[in-house]
Homo-oligomer: A and B are copies of this chain.
Amino acid sequence: MTDNKTQPRRPAPARGRPPKSAKGPDLRQKILDAAEGLFARHSFYGVTTRQVAFEAGVDVALIHYYFGAKSGLFDAVFLRRAEILNKVRLDSLDAYEKTHAGAVTVEGAIQAFINPLLDISLTGGAGWKSYFALVAQVNNTPAWGGETMTRFFDPVVQRLIAVLRKALPHARDEDLFWGYQFLTGSMMLAVSETGRIDLLSKGLCHASDIAAVKERLSAYCAAGLLTVVERHTPSLPA
């Protein structure tokens, strides 16, 4: 978001977590949870602060107290899990590179990038599922999607590209970037669980079946990337 025309006018009373009072339910988190679910389903403009307040069991004014303008709430929702997700994925890529030094494969690198996300979707609960749906939505928003995705997630992606370069030293960068673009499109649509595949397959497949995605997605992307790269470097050494 970072909507330039609606800055929070309050002096941002609570940066980070609520200063004192480790009070039970932690209303700040409840607001974020409610907002996350609603934004994921109905987009930024499709949700009112009142709905968020109602869903969180909280007064409307409290939202402004904690987050300033509505766009501040959105940013907070987006940032909260981005930090966790980035750390998990960077660690995964680091670990893969360390344990496979000199024997880095395309599929291995892609798995190290994709699987942490799918594992979180499998075990992280409803909050994470909403979050992924939200990211998928932002990913496909021309107005500010490209910029937001870049701002929050670029470091991990650059890290993935770097590992892929080791696996494919003769690949052209254009092919790696386009390959990543295709990958992220598939991955984000899969974790946003829109239910389309249920309808399309007449109940044979389920969008919520992330295990089925995990079984297939990295093989799919790895084979695709390899083919694209090979078309441009016909005689692959090694």
A174 CB contacts on chain B under 8 angstroms: 201, 204-205, 212
Q: Is there an interface contact between B223 and A227, defined as CB atoms closer than 8 Å?
A: yes
**A77, CB-defined interface residue at 8 Å:** no
Bound Cα distance A184, B200 (Å): 13
A185 CB contacts on chain B under 8 angstroms: 185-190
Bound Cα distance A175, B182 (Å): 18
**A225, CB-defined interface residue at 8 Å:** yes
Binary interface encoding of chain A residues 41-74 relative to chain B, with 1 for a CB under 8 A from any of its CBs, else 0: 1111110000000000000000000000000000
Besides A41-B142, A181-B197, A181-B205, 12 more A-B contacts (Cβ < 8 Å) are: A43-B141, A44-B45, A45-B45, A142-B192, A146-B195, A150-B200, A177-B197, A177-B205, A178-B205, A185-B185, A220-B224, A220-B228
**A196, CB-defined interface residue at 8 Å:** yes
A46 CB contacts on chain B under 8 angstroms: 43-45, 143
**A27, CB-defined interface residue at 8 Å:** no
Bound Cα distance A213, B45 (Å): 31
**A119, CB-defined interface residue at 8 Å:** no
A196: contacting residue among B137, B149, B173, B223, CB under 8 A:
B149
Closest to A41 in B: B143
A227 CB contacts on chain B under 8 angstroms: 219-220, 222-223
**A34, CB-defined interface residue at 8 Å:** no
| Residue picked from A41, A147, A173, A197, most chain B C-beta under 10 Å | A197
Q: Is there an interface contact between A180 and B193, defined as CB atoms closer than 8 Å?
A: no
| Residue picked from A177, A185, A201, A223, most chain B C-beta under 10 Å | A185
A197 CB contacts on chain B under 8 angstroms: 146, 177-178, 181
Closest to A107 in B: B227
5 pairs, CB–CB < 8 Å, chain A vs chain B:
A44-B45, A140-B192, A141-B194, A146-B195, A178-B213
